[in-house]
Structure 1
Amino acid sequence: MTPTTSSGPDSGPPTLARWLTGRRDSDLAALLRARPDLVVPPPATMTVLANRAQQRASVFRAADELTTGDFGVIEALARLGAAEKPVTRRALLDRLAGRTTAKNVDRTLDRLRTLLLVWGSADELSLVPAATETVPWRIARSTASDLPDDAELAAMIDDLDAARRGILDTLARTSPVGRTKDAATDTPADRPVQQLIASGLLIRLDDETVELPHRVGQYIRGEAPFDPAALAPPPAAPATHTVADINSTAAGAALELLRHAEELIDALGTAPAPALKSGGLGVREVRRLAKTVGIDETHAALLVEVLAAAGLIARGLPDPPPPTDVDDYWAPTTSADGWMKAPAGHRWAVLAGAWLDSPRRPWLVGRRDQNDKPIAALSDEVQSPPAVRDRRLLLEYLAETPGSAPDVGQIRAALAWRRPRWAGRLGGDAVAETLREATALAVVAHGSIASPGKALLHGGDAEAEMEAALPEPVDYVLVQADLTVVAPGPLVPDLAARIALVADVESAGAATVYRISEASVRRALDAGTGAGDLHALFATHSRTPVPQSLTYLIDDVARRHGRLRTGIASSFVRSDDPALLAEVLAAPVAATLALRALAPTVAISQAPLAEVLQELRAAGFAPAGEDSSGTVLDLRPPGARLAVPRTRPRYTGPVPPTAEQLDTLVRTLRAGDRAATTSASKSVQADGSRSGGAATMALLQLAVRSKRSVNLGYVDAQGVATRRIVDPVAVSGGTLEAFDPAAGTVRSFVLHRVTSVALVD
């Protein structure tokens, strides 16, 4: 589409509104897509759009995504005075000579024009005034001092005495420019300011002014370092790992993650954790969960944060409620049951996706807050809205350097160059801990992003990528003579559940090692699995001969298991062996349960069945619960569960308009400009009086009869006043029906909201 120009005069100094009017519709659509905050509410004319685009808050929001190279061009334009009067592209290239190429400058200018921070042709480049304030360093800085590399600079600053370090700290925390009489050249050399100038840690501007170099301020503030003079990004690290190796390692980490997550859900289901008054999870509870699952407290804190973000655990009063007076717990939700039955790829994607989009920083848990108190997991102190953008920035960088394993210093330097305005959030701890979390979540492996993580980041099929990376499930195990069972890969779900019932995990990884013990066999028997079922399980699914020791163990435990039977009398205890029942009645546990013999083989108790089973097992017996038919019951208590909480939508910033909305917005802007500049042959102001209303009605009816367009002033239901050119179709019932070219459809206008009407020549 050819540019549409204003019908107004072209003389006079160039303005942003006039330049916008001359842009192609596609350019305007790209601008509105890049600056979505400009379209709320929709601007009526180019003048409104231009004024809104130059507002300081909007300019700062747009500048958040700029690189150091972009800011370098803005700085050069500011030094040339482009914020006050237009400058030429040739002058800009001369200013940046030796630092970059003309092609890169043109590419940067196109980007800045799209963001409406720079406007005008190559011969008349203008800078939005507020853009100069967005540059994250002092534009009027002097020639930088000759500083050594980062390691030597750190050593120099760390070796300073209190007086010199105090001066640097003050300048780093306030303004980089300070005034002091000690800056004069005739000041004794042993004065702190003179020593700092001599070492290059301060720059002398004049006899009373010094400046702190940007790199020195970055180090003192703990920011990620970047060079303001570098218009090109730091070189990428070379590839050191293959994609196959990265994906294989990530798959192993994903299996470990899922196992720990399931165990943590089971631990919270068995014993929900009381919530703190502030709503978080106490240090003791995190320590308990870590010990139960067999992981460190840092990893446990990450897991509970991710599970909460995924909606698999929540805060409230679970069902059944724990036997305490507390009414606020952290416990699994009903969604956790469905999640644990889902395929491994889906389960991983739920956890990793929740972490990626969580506005929290789990690595802050355990650190000290401003009051020197440890930050609790799931507390408000962990909340950090910028965490999502920082996390994605790091992963985007890793995705662009596949197979490489950059160290934390390289990552910080690259991220700071890409987003210098975020440098304060890219401290060493932030980058290192985010990388550690990504590795624990199987998004990153060997310091490089894995294929499933890349799919998750870019909206691909992350589940399918993880399923492809995971080893194929196996339906067999290897039973060893030492009563260990080796699963050479992830087991099919049914076999995994049956093995987990009869054996305990001893070590996990690419191959999982289980340990069979007397207690684990008894657990399977308590759940209703018979000795014959256990023999058949190992005979069918073991690729190695079943050792005789395992057969003896199962038979020995089964022989003693269930010789005592408990039921509901309130409870009863029976045994086919009178001597065994007599032994029970003679034991201290009989008094605890108030057992009373009814016959040589039967005794009753008023205690609940579950309590009878628990006490008898604690006393060294091996009872089995039974129902009215004598069938063994699985009396393991179900885990506590919470109803799935309703999630509140989270504001993530202005939503970019769709292509259809952009087309409508551009047409509205064109129509608004046309309405503002078109002269009227006859105009009527609707002042609310009877005569004004009659004149308005008469003029609109004339436009309908003569098929003339009108310039309509209108105030919508939200109180927004607009002007537009429409083609009236009918006037009746207090409503004007007119075709609106901007919307491309017939619209209804309430007559009492019409402020003016003018026939268009």
Structure 2
Amino acid sequence: MPMPPAATTVVRVPRSARSFADDLRGRADDDLAALLLARPDLARPAPADITSLAARASTRASVQRALEHLDARLLHLVEALLVVGAEGAPSALGASRSAVDDGIRELWHQALVWRSPDGWRTARAVGETLTHPAGLGRSTSDLDVRLDDLAVGSEGDFDAVTRAYNALSPRAQAVIDQLRWTSARGSFTTQTLRDVRRELVGAGLMVAVDGERGSDAVIPREVGLALRGGRLYREAWAPPTAEMTHVEQASADDAAAGAVLDLLWRLDEVVAAWDAQPPRVLRTGGVAVRDHRRTAVAIDSSSDLTAFVLELSYAAGLLAPDGEVDPLWRPTEFYDEWATWTPARRWAHLAFAWRDTTRAASLAGQTIDGTLVNVLGKDVSWPLMRARRADVLATLAALEAGSAPTTEQVDALLRWKRPLRLPEGAPTRADDVLREAGWLGVTGRSALTSAGRALLAVPSDDSVPTSEANLESVAALMAASMPQPVSQVMLQGDLTAIAPGPLTEEVATFMRRSADVESRGGATVFRFTESSIRRLLDHGVSSGEALEALRRHSMTPVPQALEYLLGDVARRYGHLRVGSVGSYVRSDDEGSLDALVADSSLASLQLRRIAPTVCVSPLPASTLLDVLREHRHAPVAETSDGGVVVRTEAVKRSPTPGRRSTPVRVVRLDGDEATAMTQRMREAEKSAVRPSQHDERTRIPSSDPTVTLTSLQDAAADRAPVWIGYVDASGDIKRALFRPTSVSGGRVVGQIGDNTTTTRSFSIHRITGVAPA
């Protein structure tokens, strides 16, 4: 039985065209649809026909946007085409002919190059955007100098440039070495440097750009290329490669799960601290530095991590101003609902909020233009941070699973991926993004986690809230790595308790009230103290109830030392009673009051005995309570009829904020819409007047201003004639064969007719239409 023929891929070779617009007209419908998908700005609004599409694709703004999305491989190829053309590109890049041809076809599909009868050419606006390709200077024609006056000569002799360089003084050679691969222009400000400038200009390696008495000189493009040995870049035409650390995916996921539990604990601690003492909202927005520091102490973290937790909570709608006349920062009503979710689902909500927020927590604490940036303030918002975050995470997602690159390696990959947006020296913010991703659990041991990869796979759209299905799917991957909550702790004889994993809500609440966190990690260590036991009793829990809860929540017997501590604090608890006069202290134990009055450290309370069992103070009852507790006493507040005041669980909440700004509607072009748009443009093009049909008797149809301007610029660059319709001084519409020479400042200059040297100038707005001749 004969074997079936192997599948082959048909590569369409673009045919030559007389203009950029003709190149687009000659493309197949699927090629035009692919162009609209590759450059979606061309489809909004929908172009009327292919001529309009060509004009829009030639504008500088659209070309700039397309170039910014090129990686370094394609951008360097574009620069090679500008400098040496398609034939010289392989040697200039140190690449094979087939690799260069493949890259050119990619650029052709994005309408950044087109094939003329003379060979491959870049779109006109490409050269206007990349004015110094590969860091080379302007060409000799732009500098108005002759090649014969330079070391390279009219034949482009690279050896002559080498000889001229070798004949230079050491100081002049050092200047050339510094400028060779960086910038073609140099400033020579001192007398010594001016002597070097004179030597370099005399050697034909540089050209003075501001006269003999000036200080600047530039290496012409032809000389610069020769100094580089015909190469555009020292580096190879390939992405940066470096040996990366690899970790097991399961290990990365487990490490991330630990970070998630730590983050959720810190966020709950922030809420507990702000419930007890909510910070003021500054007049300029944000949180004061002292409140920032106080919160950092409360959650036992650095200032940077605290800023991240606060900004993340704000972005997720868990913290907000309460809207009062004197506003305070408080947890929102949504926080109470969020707190009832599973840990994995709580994390997923935070992760989506972090991915899509424009706030940059790393800016908090910095000084910008002499102003300190406060956490939660308006200056922390930086729209570019979301794009930086997306680029960094996309770079991690493109690597092999388990890859754990360093910050320097991510920097290099980002600069290769976005060379125009992130040139050498521009901050990538990769260090900030990677650090926050580690805190959040999107990465573990520096590698992207399974849940983090799923997070990036969900499209980001500001106008559409995250769906429940997406939230649950991402949460499920994180839940698979998180340990199951435990309902018991191990009580130790040294008044500590060890939680071998995350605790259930009931046990976590009890331990938070009865003990202080001593350390966190794979297991949490709590310590029981007099103040922590007193805190539990303040919540209305009796000693008997507390002992029963300890036995129920412990997998080991309750140590005798803990029973003694609980009993000792409970016996002394409530002996002193504080009420409001200014305030008073009463106790059935006269000895306790004797000790208070005699204690010199309590002199600030100004206690005065009015009865054997009663003392009064001019201070408020709340102050009296706090001071007595600070001095290791255990008072309780009471009502006027002697009832004990139990701390209420009711807490104030801020309204849940809605969207803080009008969302940016992201309209994506799909394949079906691109195909339909292509068919409409094709139909409109068929009904248009063909260029060959234009003559002095044909009415020039009106064209879009963008089409008019682009057509005139293309004609001026190609020195080609066009038919124009224009409004004369009397208001009549006339037509003429026009040869434009320059377009600038809203005017076009050129000659009217075939055999004339008379120069005419037209305002662009007076030209009604343009058509090729």
What TM-score does the superposition give when structure 2 sets the normalisation length?
A: 0.68
In the alignment, the residues of structure 1 paired with residue 110 and residue 413 of structure 2 have an alpha-carbon distance, to the nearest angstrom, of: 23
Are residues 1:493 and 2:499 paired?
no
Deviations 1:518-577 (A, max 9, x none): 1111111111222222222222232223211011111222222234567899999887x4
Alignment partner of 1:541 is 2:553: yes
Q: 1:544 to 1:107 in 2, by over 3 A?
A: farther
Contact 1:168–1:212 (8 Å) recurs in 2: no
Q: Partner of 1:40 in structure 2? A: 44
Of 523, 526, 531 in structure 1, the residue corresponding to residue 543 of structure 2 is 531
Distance 2:670 2:610 in 1: 78
**Cα distance in structure 2, aligned partners of 1:254 and 1:212:** 57
CA contact (8 A) 1:237 1:401 kept: no
Match of 1:289 among 276, 281, 295: 295
CA displacement 1:116-158 (0-9 Å, x = unmatched): 2234599964421212344495357279xxxxxxxxxxxxxxx
Q: Secondary structure at the match of 1:474?
A: coil
Q: The residue matched to 2:65 in structure 1 has which SS?
A: helix
Once residues 683 and 619 of structure 2 are traced to their aligned partners in structure 1, the CA distance between those partners, rounded to angstroms, is 84
Alignment partner of 1:53 is 2:57: yes
Superposition map of 1:65-80 within 5 A? 65-80=69-84
Q: Does the aligned pair in 1 maintain the 2:207–2:220 contact within 8 Å?
A: no
Give me the whole-angstrom Cα distance separating, in 2, the residues matched to 1:62 and 1:545.
Answer: 70
Superposition RMSD on alpha carbons, in Å?
A: 4.6
1:652-667 aligned at under 5 Å gives the runs: 655-667=667-679
Q: 1:676 to 1:596 in 2, by over 3 A?
A: farther
What is the rounded CA distance, in whole Å, between the counterparts of 2:374 and 2:194 in structure 1? 49
Kindly state the Cα deviation for residue 68 of structure 1 after the two structures are TM-superposed.
0.7
- Structure-2 residue corresponding to 1:273: 279
In the TM superposition, 1:338-487 aligns within 5 A as 338-371=337-370, 373-399=371-397, 400-424=399-423, 427=426, 430-459=429-458, 461-487=473-499
Contact 1:408–1:428 (CA<8 Å) still a contact in 2?
no
1:648 — aligned with what? 660
Which residue number corresponds to residue 751 of structure 1?
none
Q: Are residues 675 and 628 of structure 1, via their aligned partners in 2, closer, same or farther at CA, if it must alter by over 3 Å?
A: farther
Question: Does residue 527 of structure 2 align to residue 521 of structure 1?
Answer: no
1:63-91 CA-to-partner distances (Å, cap 9, x unmatched) read: 2111110112212222356xxxxx7xxx3
8 Å CA contact 2:322, 2:653 repeated in 1: no
Please state how far the C-alpha of 1:501 moved relative to its aligned partner: 1.2
Rounded Cα–Cα distance in structure 2 between residues aligned with 1:36 and 1:595: 84
Q: Is the 8 A contact 1:361 1:387 kept in 2?
A: yes
Contact 1:585 1:595 in 2 (8 A): no
Q: Deviations over 1:152-201 (max 9, x none)?
A: xxxxxxxxx9xx99x989x98xx74247699xxxx98996769999xxxx
Give the AA of the match of 1:431: A
Alignment correspondent of 1:759 = none
The Cα of 1:249 is off from its aligned counterpart by 1.7
611 and 638 in structure 1: CA distance in 2 versus 1, 3 angstrom threshold: farther
Q: 1:295 to 1:544 in 2, by over 3 A?
A: same
Measured in 2, the distance between the counterparts of 1:506 and 1:475 equals 19
Instruction: Find the counterpart in structure 2 of residue 264 from structure 1.
Output: 270
Partner of 2:95: 99
CA distance 1:350–1:573, change in 2 (3 Å): same
The answer (yes or no) to whether the contact 2:19–2:116 under 8 Å persists in 1 is: no
Match of 1:115 among 96, 106, 110: 110
Contact kept? 1:136, 1:420, Cα under 8 Å: no
Instruction: Judge conservation of contact 2:628–2:635 (CA < 8 Å) in 1.
Output: yes
Q: Which moved more, 1:621-630 or 1:229-238?
A: 621-630
Deviations 1:714-741 (A, max 9, x none): xxxxxxxxxxxxxxxxxxxxxxxxxxxx
Matched, 1:312 2:318: yes
Tell me by how many angstroms 1:278 deviates: 2.9
Contact 1:59 1:131 in 2 (8 A): yes
One-letter amino acid of the counterpart of residue 266, structure 1: A
- The equivalent of 1:705 in structure 2 is none
Partner residue, 1:255: 261
Find the counterpart in structure 1 of residue 185 from structure 2.
177
Q: 1:134 to 1:467 in 2, by over 3 A?
A: farther
Letter in 1 for 2:261: L
CA contact (8 A) 1:334 1:644 kept: yes
Give SS of 2:422's match.
Answer: helix
Q: What's the counterpart of residue 122 of structure 2?
A: 127
Structure 1 CA distance for aligned equivalents of residues 651 and 110 of structure 2: 54
SS of corresponding position for 1:421: coil
The residue type equivalent to 2:38 in the other structure is: A
- 3-state SS in 2 of match to 1:262: helix
Quote the residue 2:224 is aligned against.
Answer: none
Which amino acid in structure 2 is aligned with residue 421 of structure 1?
A: L
1:512 lines up with 2:510 in the alignment: no
Residue type of the alignment partner of 1:130: A
Where structure 2 has 5 or more consecutive residues not aligned to the other structure, the ranges are: 1-14, 139-170, 210-216, 222-231, 459-469, 694-773
CA, structure 1 residues 22+294, in 2 after alignment: closer, same or farther (shift >3 Å)?
A: same
Q: Does structure 2 conserve the Cα–Cα contact (< 8 Å) formed by 1:525 and 1:531?
A: yes
Q: Distance in 2 between matches of 1:342 and 1:630?
A: 41
Identify which range, 468-477 or 501-510, moves more after superposition: 468-477
Find the residue that maps to 1:366 and give its secondary structure.
Answer: coil
Contact 1:240 1:405 in 2 (8 A): yes
Distance 1:203 1:351 in 2: 62
Q: Distance in 1 between matches of 2:426 and 2:445?
A: 21
2:306 equivalent in structure 1: 300
- Aligned partners of 2:515 and 2:529 also within 8 Å: yes
Contact 2:606 2:617 in 1 (8 A): no
**Pair 515,636 (structure 1): closer, same or farther in 2 beyond 3 Å:** farther
Paired with 1:312 and 1:636, the residues of 2 have a C-alpha distance of 22
Q: CA deviation at 1:507?
A: 0.5
**Cα deviation digits, residues 391-428 of structure 1 (max 9, x gap):** 22222222214333333332222211111112248756
Aligned residues: 610
Return closer, same or farther for 1:17/1:456 CA change in 2, 3 Å cut-off: same
Question: Which AA in structure 2 matches 1:68?
Answer: A
Give me the whole-angstrom Cα distance separating, in 2, the residues matched to 1:651 and 1:66: 27
CA contact (8 A) 2:17 2:23 kept: no
**What secondary structure sits across from 2:688 in the alignment?**
helix
- Tell me how far 1:503 sits from its aligned partner: 0.7
Please, which runs of 5 or more residues in structure 1 have no aligned partner? Answer: 1-10, 82-86, 144-160, 214-225, 322-326, 680-761
Cα 1:538–1:106 change in 2 (3 A) is farther
Letter aligned with residue 288 of structure 1:
R
Tell me the residue number matched to 1:31: 35
Once residues 197 and 440 of structure 2 are traced to their aligned partners in structure 1, the CA distance between those partners, rounded to angstroms, is: 49
Partner-residue secondary structure (3-state), 2:420: helix
Q: Which residue number corresponds to residue 562 of structure 1? A: 574
Cross-structure match for 1:683: none
1:370-398 CA-to-partner distances (Å, cap 9, x unmatched) read 33x44333344433322222222222222
Matched residue of 1:423: which SS?
A: coil
Contact 1:251 1:466 in 2 (8 A): yes
- How many percent identity over aligned positions? 35
Q: Is contact 1:589-1:616 (8 Å) kept? A: no
- 2:360/2:381 contact within 8 Å kept: yes
Give, as a single letter, the amino acid of the residue that structure 2 aligns with 1:298: D
Alpha-carbon distance, 1:497 to partner: 1.2
Deviations 1:612-648 (A, max 9, x none): 7556646755344578999966415755432122323
Q: CA deviation at 1:358?
A: 2.3
